[in-house]
A and B are shown apart, each in its own frame.
Chain A
Amino acid sequence: MPEHVQKKKPWLKRILIGILVVVVILAGVYWYYATEKFADTKSKKADYTLNALDFIREFQQDIAAANKKYTDKIIELNGKVSAIEAADTTVNIKMVEPATASYVIFAFQQQHLSEAKSVKEGDSISVKGSFGGGIYSEILEATAISFKRSTLNNKYPN
């Protein structure tokens, strides 16, 4: 084999190995993000623990500031259950501030659905969920605050 071709080979090999390494890294990053799932809320530490009615009143005072403060946070609320509503094949738990009919509502994680179904209207509970935003509802003329991936933290005797 001619001498000049032999000199080029190590460079080619290094380039090919470099490309292979980059492809493997990119595939790994893609695989990580594509298979990543939300952790069970039960295993997450709450960023805030509050009384449900105080939480609702904070949104009534300044909804924009409250939304900014709690975005992407895990929040634990203590309060009395006002209603349990069927939602598709699952149930939601609701706590209502009686003076204005404003409320917080918790959609449960599938694996914690049996916990939600064990709760009754009037129960005092502690519930933890991923904050899903507070809006002023034109339909209800009240503040509606939603949670997703919720889990029952505790149920207290009445």
Chain B
Amino acid sequence: MKKTALLVSFSLIAFSLFAQKKITTSATVKFDASTSIDNLPKAENKTVIAAINTTTGSLAFEAAVKNFAFSNPSMQNHFNGTNWLDSDKHPTFTYKGNITDLSAVDFTKDGSYEVKTEGVLTIKGVDQKLSAPATITVKGGSVLAAADFSIKLADFGISGAPIDGGKVAKEPKINVTAELK
């Protein structure tokens, strides 16, 4: 009897730990570096891996740099080229962070919650701290995470004539959405 109770307890703990981590392999990251003189430098990646731990508030994202889809072939080549993101050498964008005000979210109750996040964004092998507000929407056991922020290309060692000439924004806007289950 004791053994059965112990087994059931372990199973419940294991199930509970598993349920705390919610994942998707279809998060979307949109990148918009367009300016008033060039509408082309923008792209999206719809196969981003994302995870959230609803107990600790940890967040993680991984994206294949080459799966950012541009409408313009030349722009996509520049984006992946050695002067820009050098995606052959640095094939992944990563983000590891946390929800800093986790008590603001009730993952057991449907609703929309405004939170603060802090973490480290790694682009082209360069780590930079990133703080951004995000919206967490809990609905029927799923978690929808959304955030809008901007980054400074110079912080990641990305520079060049198109940026200096105003054809590419120095601080592109980034939009992230992830439905985690």
Contacts and interface: CB of A to CB of B under 8 A. Distances in A.
A binds B: yes
B72 A107 contact: no
B122 to A, nearest CB: 11
B62 A139 contact: yes
B28 interface: yes
Interface in A108-155: 130-135, 137-140, 144, 146-149
Interface residues of A, number: 33
Nearest to B92: A135
A138 B62 contact: yes
Interface string A3-42: 0000000000000000000000000000001101110000
B25 A85 contact: yes
A67 interface: yes
A87 B27 CA distance: 6
Interface residues of B, number: 34
Interface string B71-101: 1111000000000000110011010000000
Contacts, number: 101
A99 B70 CA distance: 34
Contact of B47 (A34, A67, A87): A87
Contacts of A85: 24-26
A134 B72 CA distance: 22
Nearest to A37: B71
Contact of A92 (B46, B91, B94): B46
A140 B26 CA distance: 13
Interface in B129-164: none
Chain B binding surface SS class = strand
B2 to A, nearest CB: 35
A36 B46 contact: no
Contacts of B44: 88
Contact of A86 (B67, B71, B72, B179): B179
Contact of A137 (B62, B69, B70, B72): B62
B34 to A, nearest CB: 12
A71 interface: yes
Given A87-B28, A107-B47, A132 B71 contact: no
A131 to B, nearest CB: 8
Interface string B6-48: 0000000000000000011111100000000000100011110
24 contacts: A33-B74, A34-B72, A37-B72, A67-B91, A71-B66, A87-B28, A88-B44, A88-B46, A88-B177, A105-B47, A132-B69, A133-B66, A133-B67, A135-B62, A135-B64, A135-B91, A139-B50, A144-B25, A146-B45, A146-B47, A146-B67, A148-B45, A148-B67, A148-B68
